């Protein structure tokens, strides 16, 4: 009898865990985690910025002609509006990463909506571009997120591989991420560290110095999430 009771509970818990953290889950909101494999392109993404270190990252990306999507927190956009504008001005894509980077687990739908809406409005007012993409802090989705995304016209973005660049050294990041890259991969790095001011992202920068020339030599196009999802061979709309 106990087994008959526990099995459905365990199954429900497993479904919930997948919905909350599963990279391919769309149970709690529309989301993508990879692009098409028919084109040799990958999307670089950076979370938790902008930060004082973002300008160093922009210089690395520019040197290799790479474009990326930056999921920005409202907290940091308020601190560093010029850096947020610089990201957009250099041809990168700006996405929504919530206002203050909380975990959404067990939060109310109103709390979740306010986190997205505050960041959405601030990013639009600061950069002149309204985000169309959103990444949940820590990759945690929760009930109410789908409605918030619908109201704000946001598509969720998870990742194919997360770089673990907040804890690994540069070579360790490169060794971890490199073998996992395939056409269509969405890669998650960080140009900030949650709400930390003046974060040290030297390991991230060092890893990119190793990985970017390697990917280019292998023939990869390094682009934004939207660029990855757009077929360059499709006819343009007049």
**Domains of the chain from N-terminus onward:** 31-229 (3.20.20.370)
Whether residue 11 has pLDDT greater than 60: no
Whether residue 221 has pLDDT greater than 70: yes
Whether residue 227 has pLDDT greater than 50: yes
pLDDT in tens, 97-146: 999 999 999 999 999 999 999 999 999 999 999 999 999 999 999 999 99
**Measured CA distances, 227 to 108, 170, 220 (Å):** 33, 27, 13
Residue 198 falls in the annotated catalytic set: no
Q: Give the pLDDT score at 132.
A: 98
Which of the following is catalytic: 47, 48, 99, 191? 47
Whether residue 82 has pLDDT greater than 70: yes
Contact by Cβ (8 Å): 31, 25 = yes
Whether residue 236 has pLDDT greater than 50: no
- The pTM score is 0.91
Average pLDDT over every residue of 79-86: 98
Summary mean pLDDT of the chain: 92
Lowest mean pLDDT among 1-5, 177-181, 187-191: 1-5
Task: Please tell me what DSSP assigns to residue 235.
Answer: P
SS3 state of residue 120: helix
Average pLDDT over every residue of 85-94: 98
Residue 92 falls in the annotated catalytic set: no
Which of the following is catalytic: 75, 92, 190, 191? 190
């Amino acid at each position: 009898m106990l087994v008959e009771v526990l099995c459905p509970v365990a199954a429900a818990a497993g479904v919930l865990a997948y919905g909350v953290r599963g990279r391919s889950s769309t149970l709690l909101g529309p989301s993508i985690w990879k692009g098409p494999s028919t084109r040799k392109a990958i999307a670089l993404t950076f979370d938790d910025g902008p930060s004082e270190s973002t300008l160093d990252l922009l210089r690395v990306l520019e040197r290799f002609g790479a474009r990326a999507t930056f999921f920005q927190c409202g907290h940091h956009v308020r601190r560093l509006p010029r850096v947020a504008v610089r990201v957009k001005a250099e041809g990168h894509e700006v996405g929504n990463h919530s206002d203050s980077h909380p975990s959404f687990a067990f939060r109310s739908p109103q709390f979740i909506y306010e986190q997205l809406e505050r960041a959405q409005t601030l990013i639009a007012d600061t950069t002149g571009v309204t985000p169309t993409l959103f990444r949940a802090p820590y990759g945690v989705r929760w009930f109410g997120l789908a409605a918030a995304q619908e109201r704000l016209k946001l598509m969720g973005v998870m990742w194919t591989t997360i770089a673990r660049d907040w804890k690994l050294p540069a070579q360790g990041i490169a060794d971890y991420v490199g073998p996992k890259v395939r056409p269509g991969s969405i890669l998650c790095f960080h140009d900030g560290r949650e709400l930390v001011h003046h974060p040290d992202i030297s390991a991230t920068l060092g890893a990119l110095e190793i990985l970017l020339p390697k990917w280019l030599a292998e023939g990869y196009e390094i682009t934004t999430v939207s660029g990855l999802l757009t077929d360059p061979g499709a006819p343009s709309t007049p």
